[in-house]
């Protein structure tokens, strides 16, 4: 995913977008391309099936993608077979839409446990959570989302946002501008964490 960035030397930060693709994702892709920023999208399988062309564009634009289950299920309330099926179906949809495989999984709600870990480890998937919660889903405010992202920023941080919220898409150029001024380099999750992620392990930041 893009050029190599040395995150032990640079102030790297990873913007992540969950629950899409949705009606505002292409607008976000336009903003990210204009700013020359690469991000990571944790895709919901049923939305991938509804908008495969958008997923192809996400990948073509150089962003990273991860798996956010087919129906946005609570892994902690699902049987092992259900978790595996939810992740498998989504992986297949991403593969057919964009021709890529991913070993990044973000459990919906950040809800994970020993059982989910075992299922994901067996699939060779790592669990990617976050260190900065913008609360964009509930605040639905450009100002609050921007403020929380900028305040929470640290070198190595993973920032949680949702591209299905129009206020989030509006906040992103402001977040990029402010963090760029503070010397941050925007990277994908694979760039931030490096290539060798341990299967099943939960990552919150670099
Ligand atoms: Ni989600």
pLDDT at 1: 47
pLDDT at 196: 83
- How many Å lie between the centroid of ligand 1 and the Cα of residue 90? 14
- How many Å lie between the centroid of ligand 1 and the Cα of residue 152? 20
pLDDT at 195: 76
Question: Which residue positions in the chain have pLDDT lower than 50?
Answer: 1
pLDDT at 3: 63
Report strand pairing: 40-43 vs 64-67: parallel
CA distance 94 to 57: 12
3-class secondary-structure state, position 4: coil
User: CA dist 115 to 75, 112, 158, Å?
Assistant: 9, 8, 24
- How many Å lie between the centroid of ligand 1 and the Cα of residue 9? 31
pLDDT at 183: 98
Output the six-digit token pair for 156: 């190595």
Catalytic residues: 18, 162
- How many Å lie between the centroid of ligand 1 and the Cα of residue 110? 8
Q: What is the pLDDT of residues 148-183, one digit of tens each?
A: 999 999 999 999 999 999 999 999 999 999 999 999
């Amino acid at each position: 995913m893009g050029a190599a960035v040395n995150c032990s030397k640079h102030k790297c930060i990873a913007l992540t977008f969950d629950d899409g693709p949705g009606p505002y994702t292409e607008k976000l892709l336009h903003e990210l391309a204009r700013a020359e920023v690469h991000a990571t999208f944790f895709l919901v399988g049923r939305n991938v099936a509804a908008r495969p062309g958008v997923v192809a564009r996400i990948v073509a634009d150089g962003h990273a993608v991860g798996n956010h289950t087919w129906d946005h299920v609570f892994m902690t309330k699902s049987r092992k077979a259900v978790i595996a099926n939810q992740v498998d179906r989504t992986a297949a949809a991403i593969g057919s839409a964009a021709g890529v495989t991913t070993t990044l999984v973000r459990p919906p709600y950040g809800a994970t446990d020993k059982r989910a870990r075992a299922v994901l480890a067996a699939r060779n998937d790592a669990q990617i959570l976050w260190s900065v919660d913008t609360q964009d889903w509930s605040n639905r405010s450009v100002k609050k989302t921007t403020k929380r992202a900028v305040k929470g920023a640290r070198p190595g941080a993973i920032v949680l946002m949702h591209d299905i919220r129009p206020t989030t898409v509006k906040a992103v150029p402001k977040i990029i501008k402010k963090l760029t001024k503070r010397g941050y380099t925007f990277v994908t999750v694979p760039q931030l964490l490096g290539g060798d992620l341990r299967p099943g392990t939960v990552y919150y930041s670099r």
